[in-house]
Amino acid sequence: MVPTLEKMAADLMAPGKGILAADESETTMAKRLEPLGIANTVDNARRVRELFFTAPDIEKYLSGIILYASSLTNETAEGVAFPRLLEQRGIIPGVKVDNGHGELANFPGEEISYGLETLDTRLTEYYELGARFTKWRSVVHIGDDIPTITALQANAHVLAQYAAMVQAHHMVPIVEPEVLYSGTHTLERSREAHEVTLRTLFRTLESYQIQLSGLILKASMVLPGKESGIPLHAPDVVRETVAALHATVPPNIGGIVFLSGGQTPAEATEHLNGIALHKNPWPITFSYSRALEEEALLAWGGNDEQVHDAHKAFVRRLRYVVQARSGDYQGETA
């Protein structure tokens, strides 16, 4: 029997697990590798992903992994295709399907995401390669007089059309309207931007008749701007994030996964733990990238003799973050 979209979303939100976002673009991968003195080559990007996908026991902590599209055809050094490797480990393969973003004409400082024109064809290919869920990211900037409602509506329509096509292909869409950490805005201004972004998004998703129980929201946390000089204070971040989500997100969605959005591994873990301690109407978990990978990459440094240490660092962070998704995180020595 073919599982329903609701069941597939529930599998991704399985208790005690989360999602690794291993979908870095070539540009983002360069930012990961170059500070370590590692050349940003196609093979080194493949090695990075193999490093994480082959770590011991990750199936205890991960329900799914989001791949960059080219990674769907990558293989391990032993010749096993990445999607097949993950399936064998009981981890659901997913794929990032937007084609990036660029300037929204007539709206300085705001952007629109790309890729709808080719999405239907690509979804057929990705499904055949093993992907069973997808992610599309849009970005929201906070600044003087932005975000505008026009830009928010434009991006919401793109996300809704994406979600409709993905569900038609019997895959679970993750919608990611990321409110960016960069800027000089206050915590209160960030909450306002999150609320209007999410309210606009869900109004649009409902107008497109999206099955919300078969959809997952990838949410940013409410943070003061990175250049504001305002320090991150966990109780404030948790309070404002929970308030924004409870005010805007319908209770019948498949779940919410959080992005780490420039936070350190420890910050992203602590904030998730605080959110989990609240009584939330939807399941929550993580879909982190750098916050899960950073410590392991530092331990590895491109040296295959350090793979064991890298795996150990990765699994340790996974354990902490899984504790946090249940509100059981006791700190970095737990």
Reported as a single tens digit per residue, the pLDDT across 163-174 is 999 999 999 999
pLDDT score, position 332: 84
- The Cα–Cα gap between 5 and 27 comes to 33
Dihedral (CA of 219, 243, 322, 324) sign: positive
| Parent domain of 54 | 5-325
Q: Answer yes or no: is pLDDT of 208 > 90.
A: yes
In the chain, the number of structural domains is 1
- The Cα–Cα gap between 278 and 211 comes to 26
pLDDT score, position 6: 98
Closest C-alpha to 23, from 64, 61, 80, 54: 64
Average pLDDT of span 227-243: 96
Active site residue 176: yes
What do you get for the CA distance between the two ends of the chain, in Å?
41
Active-site entry in 17, 135, 218, 295:
218
Does residue 209 belong to any structural domain of this protein? yes
Closest C-alpha to 123, from 177, 204, 69: 69
Work out the percent of the chain whose per-residue pLDDT is above 70: 100
Does residue 185 belong to any structural domain of this protein? yes
4, HSE (Cβ side, Cα atoms, 13 Å)? 8
Q: Answer yes or no: is pLDDT of 139 > 90.
A: yes
pLDDT score, position 2: 80
Residue matched to tokens 């008749």? 209
- Check: CB of residue 187 under 8 Å from CB of residue 222: yes
Does residue 334 belong to any structural domain of this protein? no
Q: Answer yes or no: is pLDDT of 334 > 70.
A: no
Query: Cis omega before residue 147 (within 30°)?
Result: yes
Active site residue 218: yes
pTM over 0.85: yes
For 13-65, how does the pLDDT look when each residue is reduced to its tens digit (9 = 90+)?
Answer: 999 999 999 999 989 999 889 998 989 999 999 999 999 999 999 999 999 99
Residue 1 pLDDT level (bands cut at 50, 70, 90): confident
For 74-119, how does the pLDDT look when each residue is reduced to its tens digit (9 = 90+)?
Answer: 999 999 999 999 999 999 999 999 999 999 999 999 999 999 999 9
Does residue 151 belong to any structural domain of this protein? yes
Average pLDDT of span 290-300: 96
Does residue 331 belong to any structural domain of this protein? no
Question: What CATH number has the domain bearing residue 223?
Answer: 3.20.20.70
Helices (H), 2-81: 5-12, 26-33, 42-53
> How does 7-32 read in b/e, with b if 16+ C-beta sit within 10 Å?
ebbbbbbeeebbbbbbbbeeeebeeb
Active-site entry in 24, 50, 111, 176:
176
Does residue 330 belong to any structural domain of this protein? no
